[in-house]
Amino acid sequence: MVFLITAVVLILLAAVAFFIIQNQGKAMAAAKVDVNYTNENGTFLARGKLDDFVIQKNDRFAFLVRDGVIVACKDNQKHQDFVFYTEVEK
């Protein structure tokens, strides 16, 4: 009987821990990025979600950032769409 109660309590604790971890990931994904920065190199604007945002430099260049990595760029004077980087095989 004690074994059964212990097993039920452990399963409930595991389920609660699983839901807490899942909800923390959703909160991180929903976090917004809205940063303006100016220095001698220009004006930088970063807008979007924490895991997927765009950095713009002087309203000309835009860099797409996904999961903390710049994955594409765009020259607003020449292109309408982002040009994605590809991996270079060594």
Where residue 55 falls among pLDDT bands split at 50, 70, 90?
very high
The answer to whether residues 22 and 29 touch, using CB atoms and an 8 Å cutoff, is no
Cα dist. 31→11, 22, 43, 59 in Å?
Answer: 31, 15, 23, 24
pLDDT tens-place string over residues 3-49: 777 877 778 777 777 777 777 766 555 688 899 999 898 899 999 98
pLDDT given for residue 36 in this prediction: 92
Q: Supply the pTM of this predicted model.
A: 0.62
What is the chain's alpha carbon radius of gyration, rounded to the nearest angstrom? Answer: 22
Is the pLDDT higher at 72 or at 8?
A: 72
